[in-house]
Homo-oligomer: A and B are copies of this chain.
Amino acid sequence: MKKYNVAIVGATGAVGEKLIQLLEDSSIAINELHLLASARSAGRKLIFNSQEVTVEETTESAFKGIDIAFFSAGGSITQKFHQAARDSGAIVIDNTSAFRMDPNTPLVVPEVNPEALRDHTYLIANPNCSTIQMVAALKPIEAAFGLDRVIVSTYQAVSGAGLHALEELEEQTKAVLAGEEPKANILPSGGDKKHYPIAFNAIPQIDLFSEDGYTFEEWKMMNETKKIMGLPNLKIAATCVRIPVMSGHSESVYIEVEKDGVTADEIREVLKDAPGIVLQDDPSTQTYPMVITAVDKKDTYVGRIRRDVDNPKGFHLWIVSDNLIKGAAWNSIQIAEKMIEMALV
C-alpha cells in the first residue's frame, strides 16, 4: 500500500488545526506529515498521532517530495506557493477562494461531483464552507427530482473568519455581560474599513461587497453551487449573515424542484440514504439540526423539510454542518481520499 507525504500549509490556523486532527481519522496512509506556516510560527510544535511535529516555514523548497499539499493560509499564500508545490509533483488541495472559479480547476465536493477530479492539473479547489453543506444536501434531491431554484439565507459561525475572530467573539461576549462596550477589530471582514461587534448581534455582511450590492460570500455561494452541481442555469440567490455562534453554519434554504407532485416524504426518503447526510426531521420529538449537535461532526444535517404552502414544487429545508470540518478540513481530506481511490495520486 502506497504511503504519502502530506503537507499542510497554514497548519496553525483554524482549518489547519482541524486538518491535523482529522488526518488521524482518514484512510490516507501517511508517510511524513509536514506542517507549514509563516516564519513567525516556525518552530512551534504540534501533535499528530501522539507525535510532536515541528512547524516549518512555508518556502518553495518545502514541497520537495510532497504528494498531497493542503493549502489553508489565505488566497495570497496559495497564489504565492501553489506553483512551486505543483512543480514538485504535489497535488494541491486549496481551501481558499483563489482558484475556485478558474475554469481549469476542479471545484469538488466528493459526494457531489467526484468525476471532476479527473480533469485536475495538480490543483483542486475546496469550495466555500457555506456552499459545501448546501450542495451536499441538494445533490441527492436534484438527482431525483431536478432543481430549478434556490434561495438561501445563512446563519454563519465566527470560526469561518479564523481563530482571532473566535477570540474576539469571546472577549466581546464577556464585555457585554460585564456591562462594558465590546471592541471590534476583525468582523465583518478583516479587509474592510469598519468593524462591528458580533457578540449578541447579527451582521448581514460576510467578506467584502461587490459593486452590485451582493457580498463576495454571496457570489461564492451562487457561482460555486452552479459549478459544483453542473447547473449553469440554476436560479440561485444568497443572503449571507454572521451570527454569534462559534462553529457550525446553519442555512434556511428554499428550493423549487423540476418534477411535479414531489412530497416532503419523498425528499426525506432520498436524503435518508444520501452519503454524508444525516436526516434529523421529526417535529413531534423536536428533532431538527442545530449547531450544538452538529459541531465536531463530519456529516451534514438536514431537517425542517416542508412543502411550500403556495408552490407545490417548493420546499423549505434547514441545513447545518460544522464549517471547519465538512465545510473545510474534512472535505479537503475526502478529496484526497477520493483521488487515491480513483488512482489520481
Interface residues of A (CB under 8 A from B): 149, 151, 153, 155, 170, 173-174, 177, 188, 192-194, 196-197, 200-205, 209, 212-214, 222, 235-237, 239, 241, 243-246, 250, 252, 254, 264, 283-286, 288-292, 303-306, 308-311, 314, 316, 318
Contacts and interface: CB of A to CB of B under 8 A. Distances in A.
Nearest to A310: B235
Q: Chain B CB within 10 Å — which of A153, A204, A235, A283 has the most?
A: A153
Contacts of A237: 254, 308-310, 314, 316
8 interchain residue pairs of minimum CB distance: A153-B252, A235-B310, A209-B283, A153-B153, A213-B306, A239-B252, A194-B286, A202-B250
Contacts of A214: 306, 309
A283 B203 CA distance: 13
A304 B210 CA distance: 12
A201 B286 contact: no
A213 B292 contact: no
A221 to B, nearest CB: 12
A56 B206 CA distance: 49
A252 B205 CA distance: 12
A86 to B, nearest CB: 34
B304 A200 contact: no
B239 A292 contact: no
Given A209-B283, A239-B252, A254-B237, A196 B318 contact: no
B203 A318 contact: no
B244 A244 contact: yes
A182 to B, nearest CB: 9
A193 B286 CA distance: 8
Nearest to A237: B308
27 contacts: A151-B254, A170-B177, A173-B173, A192-B286, A193-B286, A201-B290, A201-B292, A202-B245, A202-B290, A204-B252, A204-B289, A204-B304, A204-B318, A209-B284, A209-B286, A212-B306, A213-B304, A214-B309, A236-B310, A237-B254, A237-B308, A237-B309, A239-B304, A239-B316, A241-B252, A244-B244, A252-B252
Given A173-B173, A196-B292, A283-B209, A204 B309 contact: no
A309 B202 contact: no
A237 B196 CA distance: 31
B305 A246 contact: no
B239 A290 contact: no
A331 B153 CA distance: 28
Given A204-B252, A237-B310, A252-B252, 7 more contacts: A153-B252, A202-B245, A213-B305, A222-B309, A235-B310, A236-B309, A237-B314
Contacts of A303: 204
B170 A201 contact: no
A241 to B, nearest CB: 7
A309 B236 CA distance: 8
